């Protein structure tokens, strides 16, 4: 409807322009003039034209959309085809497989079957007692669920928002508020300065040795 109006407006504008030109010419005449006469046929023609235009634009839009959709569908199909093996390859593989199977004699077939059986038996025996077939996916699922559950507990007890402090602070607090008030606790890192300590030890050994040499 909007298009119709637009079309209509545009058509009327054109018509109006013409009319206006005519009117302007006659604008010199007074304002009390009777409005100009537009014939019924002209108006009818205008309306019909505008409706036709509107219908045409709608049709055009629909067609454009259809085209777009078709193109997209084709693109998807092409991508899918690319993913799957080409038909030719499949045909080749199948033929090769059947070719293998076809020229077997009955004897050879029996041998193959028995081999398969024995293989199965061997496989069964292998899998019997010490091994268990487990789906990896289940194991991974169970592990992730267990981890998320323990993460939940950890975050509730130690996560952000919980007021936790360090063991150092707790022990220092005990020292400061106890009966004999002592200084805060300081944890010493035994690995600190290990190189320097090693050098000092070696120097001490050398120095003691030099002293004994001098003494002798």
Partner 1 sequence: MGEFKVHRVRFFDFMPSGIRCMAFNSKADRLALARLDGSVEIFNFSNNYFQEKVIPGNDSRSIEAICWVGCDRLFTAGLNGEVVEYDLERLCPKYTLDAFGGPIWTAACNSEETHFAFGCEDGSVKLFEILPDKIQFERNLDRQKGHSVQRILVDRGPAGTRNKDCVVWNVAFLSDYTIVSGDSAGKVQLWDANKGTLIKTHLVSKWDVLSLSVSENEDSIVAGTSEGTVVQFQLLSPKIGDTETQWVRTRTFKHHTHDVRAVTETRTAVVSGGLDTQLVICPLMDKVEVKSSESVLRKVIFPHRSLVSCAKKPSLLLFQFPDQLELWRLGGTDTIGKPGESLPVTRKPEKLLQLKRKGDDHICCSTISECGHWIAYSTVSSIRLYQLQCDNNNISITKVSKLPKVLRSAHQLQFSADSSKLFVASEQATIHVISVSRSECKHVHTFKPKSDVFLPTGSSAPVHLLAASADGQWLTSANRHCEINVYNLKKLKHHCMVPVYNSLPSAMAIHPETNNLLVTHADQQMFEFGIVDKQYTDWSRKLQKEGLHRCRLKWGTPVTHITFNPQAPSQVILHDMHMFCIIDQSLPLDGLKAQFYSQLTPKDTSETDKPRKNNALKICNKYQPLLHVNLLEDDWLVVVERPLIDIHSQLPAPVRQKKFGT
Query: Interface with partner 1 by CB under 8 A: which residues?
Result: 142, 145-146, 149-150, 156-158, 161-171, 173, 176-177, 187
- If the CB atoms of residues 11 and 185 are measured against partner 1, the closer one turns out to be 185
Cβ 178 to partner 1, closest distance in Å? 11
* Termini Cα distance of the chain: 121
CA-atom Rg of the chain in angstroms: 48
C-beta of residue 181 within 8 angstroms of C-beta of residue 175: yes
Torsion, Cα 47 49 51 56, to 10 degrees, reads -170
Cβ 105 to partner 1, closest distance in Å? 49
C-beta of residue 43 within 8 angstroms of C-beta of residue 8: no
Q: How far is CA 26 from CA 15, 21, 216, in A?
A: 16, 8, 140
- If the CB atoms of residues 79 and 167 are measured against partner 1, the closer one turns out to be 167
């Amino acid at each position: 409807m909007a298009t119709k109006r637009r079309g209509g407006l545009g058509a009327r504008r054109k018509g109006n322009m013409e009319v206006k030109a005519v009117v302007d010419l006659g604008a010199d005449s007074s304002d009390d003039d009777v409005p100009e006469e537009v014939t019924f046929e002209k108006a009818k023609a205008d309306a019909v034209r505008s409706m036709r235009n509107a219908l045409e634009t709608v049709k055009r839009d629909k067609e454009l959309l259809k085209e777009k959709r078709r193109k997209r569908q084709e693109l998807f199909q092409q991508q899918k085809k690319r993913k799957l093996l080409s038909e030719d390859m499949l045909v080749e593989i199948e033929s090769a497989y059947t070719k293998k199977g076809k020229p077997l004699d009955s004897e050879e077939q029996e041998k193959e079957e028995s081999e398969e059986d024995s293989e199965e038996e061997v496989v069964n025996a292998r899998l019997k007692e010490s091994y268990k077939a487990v789906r990896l996916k289940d194991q991974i699922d169970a592990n992730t669920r267990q981890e998320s559950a323990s993460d939940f507990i950890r975050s509730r007890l130690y996560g952000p928002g919980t007021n936790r402090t360090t063991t150092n602070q707790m022990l220092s607090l005990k020292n400061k508020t106890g009966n004999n008030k002592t200084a805060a606790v300081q944890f010493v890192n035994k690995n600190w300065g290990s190189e320097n300590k090693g050098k000092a030890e070696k120097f001490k050994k050398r120095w003691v040795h030099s002293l004994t040499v001098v003494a002798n």
